[in-house]
Structure 1
């Protein structure tokens, strides 16, 4: 298996890209990026130098993954979603030394046009809805919607919303213990 790179893409020397990954039209991957196996980068994606991306990550069109972003395995980044890395940017003030790290856990889905404000951690298998603005840490399995994003429920690893509390069995067979503040797999 090899890495597929479209002729219009720019992959800077030094970038590490895992086997089976695909880099499509007009994408730019900087030389310091570390990317896992089986990833897909849609049209017009930018990946910065200080970026770590796990295995089987899907980044859709028009997404910029800036320095200080860490994506776990099996993350889905929907079209035109946004990561930031400076909390209070100003054009006339260089704040590169103030980048805040953003950590996205395993199996997270980030919906189209959502924004992830820097310095936050998104827990494993969380689901951020389209257009939501995340400005705080997100617990594992949380369903986050709105501006600013609020937890509106819980999601299974398979992408099905979990209903109720106590011991819940998803339609895929996965079991969870759900309380008012957390969702734990059993």
Structure 2
């Protein structure tokens, strides 16, 4: 019945050129083209913005202030807070909570049961909502299963966080991080394979899958797509 209500609301949104529509008495912003798919057990609060073709699966909860792009997948038991921005084509696997002040850019992958935090020093008896730290995950980054991202840091573009790692500092673009606390052991291509490059210095390599050229200058990577 919930899915039917969403489809009916999507048609209503199309008829009104993408204006706010109501599902079970709640106002939800739907895109003008393909409606999101929301499982009957999921909860989407009043005012949440969900892009076209995004899928919200079993027992997920999307709070009213959240903004989610198109073609995303939110797995079972995912929680999305009010002050959260999620880009397009983001995959959030089962049992992940994305708290207030977290931004996930396009094509971020959050592995099963990985953890975000939002306060450095939580105490049950103290309200520290005013102390939430901003966490930014840039385009294409992978956060492996069961890893922990300590709040207040930035994960670079196409960075790769290994399963179970605990990250407590900023991560450079394309960096491969593993361990507790996480340490950089290499560089990853946008295709998702380790690059044959030293951690620091001046070197170049080419991805055999895409032809992209990666140039290392000291401790910074630049990616150069092949010339047409």
TM-score bracket, normalised by the shorter chain, equals: over 0.9
Matched, 1:116 2:153: no
Q: Which one of 118, 122, 135 corresponds to residue 168 of structure 2?
A: 135
Written as runs of structure 1 = structure 2, the 5 A alignment for 1:59-98 is 59-98=92-131
Q: Which one of 138, 152, 160 corresponds to residue 185 of structure 2?
A: 152
Unaligned ranges ≥5, structure 2: 1-33
Structure showing greater relative contact order (alpha-carbon pairs closer than 8 Å, 6 or more residues apart): 1
Counterparts of 2:190 and 2:178 in 1: how far apart (Å)?
A: 17
Matched, 1:7 2:44: no
What's the TM-score, normalizing by structure 1? 0.98
Matched, 1:168 2:205: yes
Q: Which one of 220, 224, 228 corresponds to residue 182 of structure 1?
A: 220
| Per-residue Cα deviation, 1:101-156 (whole angstroms, up to 9, x for no partner) | 00000000000000000000001000000000000000000000000001110000
The offset of 1:99, in angstroms, is 0.3
Moved over 2 A (4+): none
| Per-residue Cα deviation, 1:49-99 (whole angstroms, up to 9, x for no partner) | 000000000000000000010000000000000000011101011100000
Counterparts of 2:197 and 2:119 in 1: how far apart (Å)?
A: 38
Q: Which one of 36, 45, 59 corresponds to residue 78 of structure 2?
A: 45
Give the stretch that moved more between structures: 162-171 or 37-46. Answer: 162-171
Counterparts of 1:120 and 1:83 in 2: how far apart (Å)?
A: 11
Unaligned ranges ≥5, structure 1: none
User: How many pairs are equivalent?
Assistant: 186
Please tell me whether Structure 1 or Structure 2 has the larger radius of gyration of its CA atoms.
Answer: 2
Counterparts of 1:164 and 1:155 in 2: how far apart (Å)?
A: 9
| Per-residue Cα deviation, 1:147-176 (whole angstroms, up to 9, x for no partner) | 000111000001011013511001121101
Counterparts of 2:218 and 2:59 in 1: how far apart (Å)?
A: 45
